């Protein structure tokens, strides 16, 4: 459970989201339990349509077993995206689509994983500049703009 000894939510910052949005399966049972050691157990996470703040993103990126992360329509901006966050070494796929990013975080440019930043507020020039000479090493970088069907794969 997420409650600290004093009844606070200090042990698990992400519980507010999980209780409201990831709570029940079709049988009405809890499908996600947010426990103190949850950073060692979650391997895949998709969050769609839930506004996320910096604290939520810091918790998500701290998940040490995470292999696939999909964040869609979460109102993520350059300001809410935590600076200094590192790409979890276990993460092989990162999708942050339909958000409000105008810049590509430096750590994404140097990651070697699959990254999809489609339908953010990135410029065509910025998407096109993230290539070998600018240090992007990823297996695949996808960046389409303004809900268009034109996808630039670098």
The domain tally of the chain equals: 2
Shared domain for 22 and 82, answered yes or no, is no
CA 125/CA 106 separation, integer angstroms: 16
Shared domain for 72 and 5, answered yes or no, is no
Shared domain for 96 and 23, answered yes or no, is no
pTM here?
0.68
Shared domain for 55 and 99, answered yes or no, is yes
Domain ranges, residue 27: 1-35
Sign of CA dihedral 138, 154, 79, 20: negative
What is the reported pLDDT for 72?
A: 93
CA 144/CA 153 separation, integer angstroms: 9
Shared domain for 66 and 20, answered yes or no, is no
CA 141/CA 146 separation, integer angstroms: 17
As averages over each run of 10 residues, the pLDDT of the chain (154 residues) reads: 43 52 48 52 83 84 85 92 78 92 77 84 75 54 58 38
Shared domain for 126 and 101, answered yes or no, is yes
Shared domain for 2 and 41, answered yes or no, is no
Q: Regarding beta strands 151-153 and 114-116, do their DSSP bridges make them parallel or antiparallel, or are they unpaired?
A: unpaired
Element (H, E) at 71: strand 68-72
What is the reported pLDDT for 75?
A: 93
């Amino acid at each position: 459970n997420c409650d600290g000894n004093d009844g606070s939510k200090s042990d698990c910052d992400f519980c507010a989201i999980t209780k409201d949005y990831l709570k029940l399966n079709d049988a009405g049972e809890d499908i996600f339990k947010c426990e103190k050691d949850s950073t060692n157990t979650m391997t895949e996470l998709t969050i769609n349509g839930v506004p996320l703040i910096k604290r939520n993103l810091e918790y998500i990126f701290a998940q040490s077993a995470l292999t696939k992360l999909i964040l869609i329509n979460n109102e993520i901006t350059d300001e809410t995206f935590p600076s200094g966050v590192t790409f979890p070494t276990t993460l092989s796929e990162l999708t942050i689509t339909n958000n409000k990013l105008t810049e590509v975080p430096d750590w994404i440019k140097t990651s070697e994983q699959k990254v999809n930043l489609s339908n953010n507020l990135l410029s065509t020039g910025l998407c096109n500049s993230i290539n070998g000479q600018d240090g992007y090493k990823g297996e695949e970088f996808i960046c389409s703009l303004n809900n268009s069907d034109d996808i630039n794969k670098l």
